[in-house]
Copies of this chain bind each other. A is one copy, B any other.
Amino acid sequence: MVPHLTTALTGPLLGLEQKILDSMPEIEHWFRTQWQEHTPPFYCSVDLRNAGFKLAPVDTNLFPGGFNNLNAAFLPLCVQAVMIAIEKICPDARNLLLIPENHTRNTFYLQNVVQLSTILRQTGLNVRIGSLNPEIREPTRIDLPGGQQLLLEPLVRSNGRLTIEGFDPCAILLNNDLSSGIPEILGNLHEQFLLPPLQAGWAVRRKSNHFAAYDEVAANFSKLVGIDPWLINPAFAICGEVNFQERQGEECLASNVDFLLREITTKYLEYGIEETPFVIVKADAGTYGMGIMTVKDASEVRGLNRKQRNRMAVVKEGLEVTQVIIQEGVPTFESINEAIAEPVVYMIDHFVVGGFYRVHTGRGRDESLNAPGMHFVPLAFEDCCTLPDLTCRAGTAPNRFYAYGVIARLALLAAALELERTLPAE
């Protein structure tokens, strides 16, 4: 059973959804031609914010960690999509090595690893799980709630290849975002496919590259469908030389915050939106919502106190923040019984395979829902996002899910462009 979503069903969003529905054949044709030219990452999840007047991606994750949150009914869809991805990338593969994050005590995350390996195995691949965690020195069995088990094995470098004792994989799938840097053991692999490529890891990746590519994708798409690109695109700016501890870059931050807030105010006036503009300040590299601030006035980023500075200075795995992205805040208007809900769309290859809502009671609708200490309840989509009902009006469930899937695929396409452009020179 899926609770009813009390989304604001008035204003420009219905118009946007209707435009998307009306243009479905053009949109799908356009995506087909885009995927002829660009290679999607192996998998991807996209956090969307639905503001009623605006539907936009706010975060694109190339190491999705919530496969266990998807509706089990769409497992066959995941399996079929992985089959396609493997056929395209490494049809001759028999053995696949999955490398998860290092945290061995996060049960939710480990259930994701179980689910992901189940999907991969259903395509007929032999799958084993190799850990970068130095504490895993021998095969380690982890028991999970519900009787599931996970076997983590130590990685062994052998003849220029990454292996596990007795297991030489053709393909290596990272579910580890490399926040702590690129481990030496992953470098210069001999005839092994690494998915996604190293530049997808946070040791190299920058959100600003992603959203610059998204600007382009959103502009092209908006022209196709005949909408203002702002309706699907959060504005952003970057500050390149920030050191929160040393109070460097404060002025750059403040002036960019101010610029963006003015831009948003103009748009709110244009569309008659009676909301208070805000921006999100976050690290340009890194994930897990550490180092994130909601800002409604430039003065708030001047003279941060020690606690605030400490919080902003580092993200996951101690990665230091030196570059900051300031992104237009998109308030969420979706809620389930008073609780804020943020859709997360999952894709494998270029196919939407499901998603879920992050349902969170303790947060405001102008805050990030992916933050440390945040306890969300995942609510699987009842719908697979690919079956719009053109005989119904915009705003009905299959049509809203289709719109989610379209916007998420735009972010996926931006990720494809981003990875192309950040490919290191040989």
Contacts and interface: CB of A to CB of B under 8 A. Distances in A.
Interface of A: 24-25, 27-29, 31-33, 35-36, 73-77, 79-81, 83-84, 86-87, 91-94, 121-126, 351, 384, 386-388, 390
A86 B32 contact: yes
Which secondary structure dominates chain A's binding surface?
helix
B73 A386 contact: no
Nearest to A90: B32
A134 B33 CA distance: 37
12 contacts: A24-B124, A25-B124, A28-B83, A31-B124, A32-B86, A32-B87, A36-B91, A76-B77, A76-B386, A80-B386, A121-B390, A122-B386
B387 A35 contact: no
B33 A94 contact: no
Given A36-B87, A77-B77, A122-B386, 17 more contacts: A25-B124, A27-B124, A28-B124, A28-B125, A29-B93, A29-B94, A29-B124, A32-B83, A32-B92, A36-B91, A74-B76, A75-B387, A76-B387, A79-B386, A80-B81, A80-B386, A121-B390
Number of copies: 2
B35 A87 contact: yes
Contacts of A29: 92-94, 124
A343 to B, nearest CB: 17
B84 A84 contact: yes
Contacts of A36: 87, 91
Contacts of A83: 28, 32, 351
A84 B351 CA distance: 10
A364 to B, nearest CB: 35
Contacts of A351: 80, 83
